[in-house]
Chains A and B, each alone.
Chain A
């Protein structure tokens, strides 16, 4: 431990010297270099999300010619290990030693709540590429915080709306017993008006769901909606199919359970399942087609929605620096650039709401096996057009 921190200090000192010799971003002049700090969960069980966002972000930078708004870019990465206190350490390293100009990444909402203040209080811009907690969309919204992904509740709202439109009467809800799980089901219920037969919260990282599935079968609902991200989702979907429930009671969920990075691990258990998302690999616009093709060529796998968010984060930064004419020392000009969001996103046109969260469409997708035999998602229809999150009116920002 001691050795590690000593090494860290030496390394930090070295970087400090480097930073002082190259970074001369003064207001009024176009900078000759822009430095981006990328903080995400890159180790442990949540690592596949962070890795996907980072890969998407890197591809975005490459498509911008490894420049942001024409200025050469330098990328520094840090691992928050899915722990808020580690996130704060990494953030302060980025801000104080690395002297980054922007911070992006941030997979988990609890990490976001911890790192947002230390970064924003320094006058830096923070671009969330995933986490969108309700507090930061509502009365704690911030002029220098932009969320490229979504507000946490929105994807669940889309599925609530879809099941409502489908005329489903009785639905059974399940989620892990933590904040994001509760937010997810709250979002669902905001648009679903039928009967909620039961709302079951399971232990976080619970490996086996046999007991809950037996209760579910006995309750005989018309449909089931769940929020189980990552490994929990793999466990749940596999066991749901193996219990023979898939043909008996339709299972609905969101892209967080059926994103590209977990489909291979689920196999046929995932086939045919319907889920909601702001993005899909088959979204028909030129930016998305180029993104999907190049991502596949570069990393030898199909991108997930997380990779798409990382990609858009890079394009957004590029557009903001360009619009500020490279004056990254000028906070007001940069903010204006971010607000304009003058770029073509993987979802087509892109715009921010007053609280700096996207106004965007949400789609209903289905898991299919494509021509090459790979499991992936295909769009079935649109749940929301130009959807705004439920908290934007509580945000005092106007522009």
Chain B
């Protein structure tokens, strides 16, 4: 593989990785802090894409659509948490899986009823549709570079939030010892609702960014969700830092697996990677400290 192609593929892997990170960050927070397995995370991704696509058609602006759709997905996430998921925290994981699977079916039918069974169109904004020359021979689509930028920015923002704010402290405390946080008089219900809202916003944002590149359709979240679960297991459940490095690792490994390995082996690639990491570090790469 010549160096230009190699570098292009590294960029592709990185771009795929940060997309996975946006999905995995919310998933790992919800799992780590609330001990909730949320299969409906992919549905929030789908809802983010549909809301942004609709708002883009109404307002004619991609940027406006994103800024309007993010609060909407936060509200949606909080609504789902308050109405449905709140009852599941004390149930075992199997009940959670069953209930959140039910939510997937619910959202898929909802989208079909509101937007119809056919895929929906979301345009790539004109000002992001060209390519730039990074150096001689290597041109790369601007939009994909923007995704990388947004992903890195969100990663830095989350790092700041988790490590330098009071909310972040509570999130970290919640991930390591839920009962103690509760016993100290923190309003754990409100904390959970906020965390879920944040997770929904991240998933929604991933969906909105994916919209112009991919088909906005019923069930679009499920293939991404499976990879996001692999990412949080590799990264260590509850760890944002872990989710970031694992997402980039999975993104790059999957990209190179797809171009270098035969198709059967390529689709197994990241699972083999996951098994390898788990043999080496059963808690994942950056486990949240539990007491």
Residues of A within 8 A of B (CB): 43-45, 47-48, 51, 177, 200-203, 205-208, 210-212, 214-215, 218, 231-232, 234-235, 238-239, 242-244, 261-262, 264-267
Q: How far is the CA of A214 from the CA of B118 in the complex (A)?
A: 29
A206 to B217, CA, bound (A): 14
Is the CB of B119 closer than 8 A to any CB of chain A? yes
Q: Which residues of B contact A212 (CB under 8 A)?
A: 258-259
Give per-residue flags for B14-31: 1 if the beta carbon is below 8 A from chain A beta carbons, else 0. 011001000000000000
Closest 10 CB pairs of A and B: A234-B215, A265-B119, A210-B12, A231-B215, A201-B263, A211-B255, A48-B117, A47-B117, A45-B219, A214-B8
Q: Which of A201, A206, A210, A261 has the most CB of B within 10 A?
A: A210
Name which residue of chain B comes closest to A265, CB basis.
Answer: B119
Q: Kindly state the separation between the CA atoms of A267 and B213 in the bound complex, as whole angstroms.
A: 12
- Name the one of A44, A218, A264, A267 contacting B219, with C-beta atoms under 8 angstroms: A44
* Contact between chains at B263 and A203 (CB < 8 Å): yes
A-B contacts, 13 of them at CB < 8 A, read: A44-B108, A44-B218, A45-B219, A48-B119, A202-B263, A205-B223, A208-B19, A211-B13, A242-B212, A244-B141, A261-B118, A265-B216, A267-B121
Per the 8 Å Cβ criterion, residues 96-139 of B in contact with A are: 108-109, 112, 117-121, 123-124, 129, 131, 139
Once bound together, how far apart are the Cα atoms of A48 and B139, in whole Å? 37
In the complex, the chain A residue whose C-beta lies closest to that of B267 is A203
B214 x A51 contact (CB < 8 A): no
**Could you tell me if A208 and B118 are in contact, using CB atoms closer than 8 angstroms?**
no
* Interface mask (B195-237 → A, CB under 8 Å = 1, otherwise 0): 0000000000000001011111111100110000000000000
**Considering only CB atoms, which chain B residue lies closest to A264 in the complex?**
B121
Q: Counting CB contacts under 8 A, is B144 at the interface?
A: yes
Query: Roughly how many angstroms separate A203 CA and B267 CA in the complex, as a whole number?
Result: 7
Nearest CB to that of A218 among chain B residues? Answer: B5
From B9, B131, B263, A177 is in contact (CB under 8 Å) with B263
Q: Are B121 and A266 in contact (CB under 8 A)?
A: yes
A238 near B219: Cβ-Cβ < 8 Å: no
Whether, in the assembled complex, B181 has its beta carbon less than 8 Å from a beta carbon of chain A, the answer is no
Beyond the given A207-B224, A265-B121, please list 8 additional residue pairs across the A-B interface where CB-CB is below 8 A.
Answer: A44-B219, A208-B16, A210-B15, A214-B9, A231-B119, A235-B215, A262-B215, A265-B216
Taking CB atoms, residues of chain A closer than 8 Å to B88 are none
- Give the CA-CA distance A210 to B13 in the complex, in Å: 9
Q: Which of chain B's residues have a CB closer than 8 A to the CB of A235?
A: 213-215
Whether the Cβ atoms of B259 and A211 lie closer than 8 Å is yes
Q: Is B75 an interface residue (CB 8 A)?
A: no
Contact status A215-B259, CB under 8 Å: yes
Asked whether B220 lies within 8 Å of A211 as measured between CB atoms, the reply is no
Which single residue of chain A is at the shortest CB-CB distance from B124?
A242
Shortest B20–chain A CB gap in Å is 10
Q: How distant is the Cα of A212 from the Cα of B117 in the complex, in angstroms?
A: 28
Alpha-carbon distance between A298 and B121 when the two chains are bound, in angstroms: 23
**Smallest Cβ distance from A253 to chain B, in angstroms?**
15
CB distance from A307 to the nearest CB of B (A): 12
Name the A residues within 8 Å of B109 (CB-CB).
43
B215 pairs with A265, CB closer than 8 A: yes
Q: Which residues of chain A come closer than 8 Å to B121, judged between CB atoms?
A: 264-267
Query: Is A47 within 8 A of B139, CB to CB?
Result: no
Question: A201-B263, A207-B220, A267-B123 known; A214 and B12 CB under 8 Å?
Answer: yes
B215 (CB) vs chain A CBs: closest residue: A234
Contact partners of B13 in chain A: CB under 8 A: 211
How far, in angstroms, from A214 to B16 measured CA to CA in the complex? 14
Is the C-beta of B143 less than 8 angstroms from some C-beta in chain A? yes
On whether A265 and B124 interact (CB within 8 A), knowing A212-B258, A218-B5, A235-B214, the answer reads no
A72 to B108, CA, bound (A): 36
Is B141 in contact with A211, judged by CB distance below 8 angstroms?
Answer: no
A211-B259, A265-B216 as given contacts; A51 in contact with B117, CB under 8 Å: yes
State whether A244 touches B131 (Cβ < 8 A).
yes
B223: which A residues are within 8 A, CB to CB?
Answer: 205-207
* Across-interface contacts of B119 in A (CB, < 8 A): 48, 231, 234, 262, 265
Known: A210-B16, A218-B5, A234-B214. A262 touches B118 (CB 8 A): yes
Say yes or no: B120 contacts A242, CB within 8 Å.
no
Quick check: is B266 within 8 A (CB to CB) of the other chain?
A: yes
A243 and B215 within 8 A (CB): no
Contacts A214-B9, A231-B119, A242-B143: A45 and B214 contacting too (C-beta < 8 A)? no
Name the distance in Å between A82's Cβ and chain B's nearest Cβ.
Answer: 11
In the bound assembly, the distance between CA atoms of A266 and B8 in angstroms comes to: 25
Residues of B within 8 A of A232 (CB): 215
- Cα–Cα distance between A215 and B218 once the two chains are bound (Å): 30
Cβ contacts under 8 Å, B214 to chain A: 207-208, 234-235, 238-239
Chain B residues positioned under 8 Å from A47 (CB to CB): 112, 117, 218
Q: Which residue of A lies closest to B4 (CB)?
A: A218
Instruction: Please judge, given known A-B contacts A44-B218, A210-B15, whether A264 and B118 are in contact too, CB under 8 Å.
Output: yes
Chain B residues with CB below 8 A from A45, complex form: 217-219
Q: Which residues of B contact A266 (CB under 8 A)?
A: 121
Q: How far is the CA of A200 from the CA of B259 in the complex (A)?
A: 9
Note all chain B residues with C-beta closer than 8 A to A208: 16, 19, 213-214
User: Nearest Cβ distance between residue A96 and chain B, in whole angstroms?
Assistant: 28
B residues near A264, Cβ cutoff 8 Å: 118, 121
Which residue of chain A is the closest to B7 with respect to CB atoms?
A214
* B131: nearest chain-A partner, CB-CB: A244
In the complex the two chains form, what is the Cα distance from A238 to B124 in whole Å?
A: 9
CA distance A218 to B4 in the complex (A): 10
Contacts of B108 in A (CB 8 A): 44
A243 closest partner in B (C-beta) = B141
Question: How long is the Cα–Cα vector from A47 to B119 in the complex, in angstroms?
Answer: 11
- Which A-chain residue is minimally distant from B12 (CB atoms)? A210
Whether B217 and A231, one on each chain, are in contact in the complex, defined by CB atoms closer than 8 angstroms, is: yes
Say how far B150's CB is from chain A's closest CB, in angstroms. Answer: 16
Distance (whole angstroms) from the CB of A121 to the closest CB of chain B: 33
**In the assembled complex, which residues on chain A have CB atoms less than 8 Å from the CB atom of B15?**
210
Q: Select from chain B the residue with minimum beta-carbon distance to A45.
A: B219
Shortest Cβ gap from A376 to chain B (Å): 14
Chain A contacts of B19 at CB under 8 A? 208
Contacts of A262 in B (CB 8 A): 118-119, 215
Q: Are A211 and B215 in contact (CB under 8 A)?
A: no
